[in-house]
């Protein structure tokens, strides 16, 4: 049941987040964006109507994938010319007032909420629209209520509108963990692609950037994978924007060592040269946590640099390869915390499980979308590690790993890391220490 509800919420969020193309001249301006809070509050289920027209999918432009694990972002889906023309013609015929409009990609529809014109009863308009061949669906606007018990524990309430749709944030009880820590004073190094530095949910969260691939700032800002990882770890909280990071007060240093090959859908790629430059640069800093949501074959140079970082008491968090084989870089190095996407199967010994499927996070151009993969699972663990280090800066990698493993909880049938349990366990250990 929980999975079904999350899937439904995901579909709704994708529709709400979709880019909507400008409306034709003379049409209601609300179709150029999403309904405002004031617009929603003005809707009346005793009066208003939901109407849908065909909105055929437009094939997305070919572009590179958004992760070294092969994830490819979907194209934007807004109102197409056919739907816009149909709605304009229908409005001219029936004279309604449009309150809001949104695309439903899964059904290839564009929906609006409308108010009947003055003097026309709703039932009469519903009957006329139901007989109109241009209309795919028409129904009264309905009201619904949630069926939820009051929370047994108090968690911070965020004004970030998509916080409730963040599967990983919810499943790890990150909001409860924020009563004890939000990652203040901790820096996380992300070795990845570039990141959208102008994203409103990452504003103030990025301390430093290094482009170890090229000097292309435009490409840096439009890279998907690094932007996704950054948002999971440290998206800003209570800024009335999008989502909340697992550690919303942590700072990020971004090392671009991966890039998207032209005309390729295989995802971002890195090499020994760029990764070695990134790891060498981190050695010269005091950053404790290093997120490596990437992987490949064993490499003597990279292994040597990684050993040096581990000797410096860094906490290196790596994504488990899709095939589950941990025999390459960086997952095979002793001391590296390896993370897989949580599922019903038993994790290999010592490997942590974290949410990695249908994760809502930041996207380039100030957007948000869902993504999946062990890259995202690793980012959740990096965020929780930042919460722990903020409370106890002297923790080493082994202590962090063991604490996360021992405090893992079953969520939706899967044993996964739990932020609230981890920080509570750490607080209890600190209080009991002599």
Reduced to 3 states, what is the DSSP secondary structure of residue 414?
strand
Query: What residues does 384 pair with on adjacent strands?
Result: none
The number of CA neighbours under 13 Å toward the Cβ of 289 is: 34
In the block, which residue shows the tokens 């095979």? Answer: 332
Per the annotation, the verdict on 27 as an active-site residue is: no
The Cα–Cα gap between 233 and 226 comes to 11
Cα–Cα distance measured from residue 372 to residue 374, given in angstroms and rounded to the nearest whole number: 7
Q: Give one DSSP letter per residue of 232-245, joined into a string.
A: HHH--SSSSSS---
CA distance 134 to 331: 56
**Catalytic (active site) residue 225:** yes
Is 432 part of the annotated catalytic residue set?
no
- The catalytically annotated residue of 178, 199, 225, 401 is 225
Whether residue 126 contacts residue 138, with contact meaning beta carbons closer than 8 Å, is answered with: yes
Q: List phi, psi (to 5°) of 353.
A: -115, 140
Catalytic residue among 48, 173, 192, 236: 192
CA–CA distance, 157 with 274 (Å, rounded to integer): 41
Q: Beta strands 289-292 and 315-319: pairing type?
A: parallel
Q: Residues 22, 32: contact at Cβ < 8 Å? A: yes
Q: Which of 375, 407, 408, 421 is catalytic?
A: 375
Residues recognised as catalytic: 192, 225, 375
């Amino acid at each position: 049941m929980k999975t079904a509800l999350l899937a439904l919420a995901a579909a709704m969020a994708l529709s709400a987040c979709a880019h909507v193309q400008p409306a034709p001249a003379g049409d209601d301006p609300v179709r150029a964006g999403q309904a405002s809070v004031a617009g929603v509050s003005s809707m009346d289920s005793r009066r208003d109507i939901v109407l849908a027209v065909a909105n055929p999918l437009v094939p997305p432009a070919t572009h590179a994938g958004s992760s070294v694990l092969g994830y490819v972002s979907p194209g934007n889906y807004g109102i197409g010319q056919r739907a816009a023309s149909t709605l304009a013609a229908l409005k001219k015929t029936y004279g309604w007032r449009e309150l809001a409009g949104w695309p439903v990609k899964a059904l290839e529809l564009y929906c609006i909420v409308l108010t009947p014109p003055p003097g026309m009863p709703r039932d009469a308009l519903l009957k006329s629209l139901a007989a109109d061949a241009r209309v795919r669906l028409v129904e009264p606007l309905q009201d619904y209520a949630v069926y939820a018990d009051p929370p047994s524990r108090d968690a911070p309430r965020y004004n970030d509108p998509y916080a409730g749709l963040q599967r990983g944030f919810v499943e790890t009880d990150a909001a409860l963990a924020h009563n004890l820590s939000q990652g203040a004073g901790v820096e996380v190094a992300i070795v990845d692609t570039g990141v959208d530095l102008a994203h409103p949910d990452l504003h103030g969260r990025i301390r430093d950037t290094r482009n170890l691939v090229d000097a292309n700032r435009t490409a840096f800002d439009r890279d998907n994978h690094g932007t996704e990882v950054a948002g999971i770890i440290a998206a800003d909280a209570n800024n009335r924007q999008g989502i909340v990071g697992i550690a919303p007060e942590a700072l990020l240093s971004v090392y671009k060592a991966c890039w998207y090959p032209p005309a390729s859908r295989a995802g971002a790629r890195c090499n020994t040269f760029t990764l070695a430059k990134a790891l060498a640069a981190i050695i010269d800093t005091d950053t404790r946590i290093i997120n490596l949501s990437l992987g490949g074959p064993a490499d003597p140079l990279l292994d040597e640099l990684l050993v040096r970082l581990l000797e410096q008491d860094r906490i290196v968090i790596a994504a488990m390869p899709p095939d589950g084989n941990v025999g390459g870089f960086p997952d095979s190095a002793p001391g590296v915390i390896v993370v897989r996407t949580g599922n019903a199967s038993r994790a290999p010994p010592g490997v942590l499980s974290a949410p990695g499927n249908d994760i809502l996070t930041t996207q380039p151009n100030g957007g948000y979308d869902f993504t999946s993969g062990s890259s995202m699972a690793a980012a959740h663990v990096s965020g929780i590690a930042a919460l722990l280090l903020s409370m106890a800066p002297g923790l080493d990698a082994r202590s962090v790993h063991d604490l996360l493993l021992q405090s893992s909880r079953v969520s939706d049938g899967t044993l996964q890391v739990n932020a609230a349990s981890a920080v509570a366990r750490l607080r209890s250990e600190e209080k009991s220490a002599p």
